Chains A and B, each alone.
Chain A
Amino acid sequence: MIPTDLHDYIESGVSILIGTRSDRLLPECCRGLGARVENGGSELTVFVPAATACHTLVNLRANGRVAVCFARAADHRSVQVKGQVLAIEDATDEDRPVVLRYRIALAEAWGVIGIPPRITLRMTHWPCQAIRLRVDALFNQTPGPGAGAALAAPASSVSG
């Protein structure tokens, strides 16, 4: 379950990194372009551009194991969600504003750290696939001591 105080953070212009693996345990990663907290935080939808997420989508369709890292550029504040895919669908016209808003917010956030918005806005962003996942665990991933500590998961779990 994603705590309420993290909903805005996850839906803001933070970087979204998506980790998956094949059935042979070969890892894969790509960027997400927007996220939406669902069902009060027990589920999450992340959007990935179809053009750059083919390996990721193959993995998710095969086994559904997914890690999603949300990292803020300005201060490296990071959290990681571990989960299981519930559905993968084409993003709809209703989803599109989420992706477009995210794109602008990311360009602003990266602009603060010196990346010209023009470059950020060149990232291919549509069409997207919407990956809906069940949130199994949440971890602090800000670099430094305490990285990997569970935020909303069994206390014994460690990640990051």
Chain B
Amino acid sequence: MTINLKDLAPCFQGIAPSLIATCGLDGEPNVTYLSQVYYVDESHVALSCQFFNKTRRNVDENPYATVVLYHPVTFEGWRLCLRFLRSEVEGPLFDTMAVRIQVIASHTGMTGVFRLLSADVYEVISVEALEGLLLPADPVLDAQPNLLPSGPLTEIRGVQVISERITRAQDLDFLLTDALTALDELLGFSHSMVLLLDECSDRLVAIATRGYGSKGIGGEVPIGHGLIGTVAEHRRMVRVAGMRVELRYGRAIRGRVEECGEADRLAPEIPLPGLPDAQAQLALPLLAGERLLGVLVVESRDPLCFDEWDEAFLQILGNQIAMGIDRMQSMDEDAGDLDAASAPQARTARSGRPSSAAQPAESFQPAAVDQPAGTLQPAGAAGGAASAPGRSTASAPGRSVAPSPEKAARARTKGRARPLAHRSFVYYPGDESIFVDDEYLIRNVPAKILWRILGQYQDEGRTDFSNRELRLDPFLGLPPIRDNLESRLILLRKRLAEKCPEVRLVSRGRGRLGLEVESSIEMLERGSP
């Protein structure tokens, strides 16, 4: 029976290590494990060359190799006779393999130490099943679990529904929340997140998550770091199955680097995003033309959860989501332009404010110091926000107001946990962070937005605000174009909902937002600006 390589797809996911035997011209055989065999086409496979090792030296002399592949679930085996053809050091195959290795190198702190030297392409001369490798299966003990029905019809229907939701979404928050919900409910991607790029800081910030509870919002990833940062840097989808296997291999190399006295070349390990025990991850860039908007990530504890088909239709969905984000951002900015056009004085003030030219654009770094274990890099670590409560150099007197009786009554009728009667907000101008009741809340532009809004509520009793006035406010220092204001407001709303539900920012139509307060609040400013 002819065996098609395509039918062995699970063996090419890098979950079960393969064996390779080679032989030099001196007649000495060599045998070792391979972390992954890459499927190229029906008659070719590729092996990664990270070190110019004995295997590679042997095939340079004698091009023949034998590889044994194993099915990662059933452990059935196949024997491939190969002939080495060429080493590729550039091109699509090399790039695909290189970015995957870069992800592992980054997560294990070995960027630049552990990298792809070449993609070695082999012709597949023959494929045969390893007969007799396994004892007969026990019909009960070895029965495979029934898989959920899936396939093109299910997924095309999912794509259709998600596409409709994206098209109908009226704001960015609904768009992303609906898209991730549909990925879960219709297609079974129960852990997903969208991170958007802050072009000012070259960081990605988690703006929507599904499957992590309320955690994870605001988590940050620098471009080039780990799976998500690497996907953003290369603008290329990456799928990693058997993450645990890959990381173990990376850590083995890291251990050898340390033993060889070269530990100073290593960086700290980067925790996996999201699930600390994820086995399969797929991340893809969200692009509008050549412009990177963010990254969509799905992950699973099942190492075989994602395959090429998932890549294909998630790419379609990713493009839909990216177009939706781009549309929302354009609409948001257009609305700002219309507002400004109807208020020429304000427009002049905005374009003419000294800060827009002389002051660097504010970075979009809503921190997440309290996200899922082993997840995105907490931005607070760099900015020192987490240590802020220790400071006690209060420089401004606090301001305090109590909620109106109507608001207090409304709070009582909500039917949820009784709100706290008092909330104390402390702003640290030094790192532009806000703590609420000594717990970190948010920092940078979203923090300044909140501070401005709370201040006007305290001083003037205002509860209605417009995007336009925020854009014009020199205290916030928003960049003149692509200010990501809507994203920053979403982040602020979600952080408030998680940390201080008595204070809410609600949408009051396009370009307008309202403040709802159900407790007395106190505002303090500490530390030197």
The finding on whether chains A and B are genuine partners in a shared complex, rather than unrelated, reads yes
**Chain A neighbourhood of B248, CB < 8 A:** 74-76, 113
* Contacting pair A15 B33 (CB below 8 A): yes
Shortest Cβ distance from B244 into chain A, in angstroms? 6
Judged by a CB distance under 8 angstroms, whether A44 is at the interface is no
**Number of B interface residues in the complex (CB < 8 A):** 52
**Chain B neighbourhood of A122, CB < 8 A:** 75, 134-135, 137, 142
* Contacting pair A124 B28 (CB below 8 A): no
Shortest Cβ distance from B56 into chain A, in angstroms? 11
A-B contact count (CB 8 A): 153
* Contacting pair B62 A17 (CB below 8 A): no
**Chain A neighbourhood of B16, CB < 8 A:** 115
- The docked-state distance in angstroms from the alpha carbon of A118 to that of B141 is 8
* Contacting pair B21 A160 (CB below 8 A): no
* Contacting pair A144 B257 (CB below 8 A): yes
* Contacting pair A19 B64 (CB below 8 A): no
* Contacting pair B252 A144 (CB below 8 A): yes
* Contacting pair A118 B132 (CB below 8 A): no
In the complex, the chain A residue whose C-beta lies closest to that of B25 is A25
Shortest Cβ distance from B317 into chain A, in angstroms? 29
**Number of A interface residues in the complex (CB < 8 A):** 50
**Chain A neighbourhood of B137, CB < 8 A:** 122
Would you list which residues of chain A between 10 and 31 have a CB under 8 Å from chain B?
15, 17-21, 25-31
- The docked-state distance in angstroms from the alpha carbon of A16 to that of B209 is 44
Which listed residue, B20, B74, B133, B251, touches A29 by the CB 8 Å rule?
B20
* Contacting pair A124 B62 (CB below 8 A): no
Interface code B22-64, partner A: CB below 8 Å = 1, 0 otherwise?
Answer: 1101011111110000000000000000110110000000101
**Chain A neighbourhood of B406, CB < 8 A:** none
In the complex, the chain B residue whose C-beta lies closest to that of A26 is B64
User: Are A52 and B130 also in contact (CB < 8 A) when A122-B142, A145-B262 are?
Assistant: yes
User: Are A144 and B135 also in contact (CB < 8 A) when A25-B27, A65-B29, A74-B248 are?
Assistant: no
**Chain A neighbourhood of B134, CB < 8 A:** 122-124
A1-9, A34-42, A77-85, A86-94: which lies at the interface: A77-85
**Chain A neighbourhood of B253, CB < 8 A:** 143-145
Which listed residue, B64, B131, B256, touches A147 by the CB 8 Å rule?
B256
Judged by a CB distance under 8 angstroms, whether B485 is at the interface is no
* Contacting pair A20 B75 (CB below 8 A): no
Judged by a CB distance under 8 angstroms, whether B254 is at the interface is yes
- The docked-state distance in angstroms from the alpha carbon of A82 to that of B23 is 12
Q: Shortest 5 CB-CB distances between A and B: which pairs?
A: A19-B31, A144-B256, A51-B132, A76-B252, A29-B21
User: What are 5 pairs between A and B in contact, CB < 8 Å?
Assistant: A19-B30, A52-B133, A143-B51, A148-B54, A160-B32
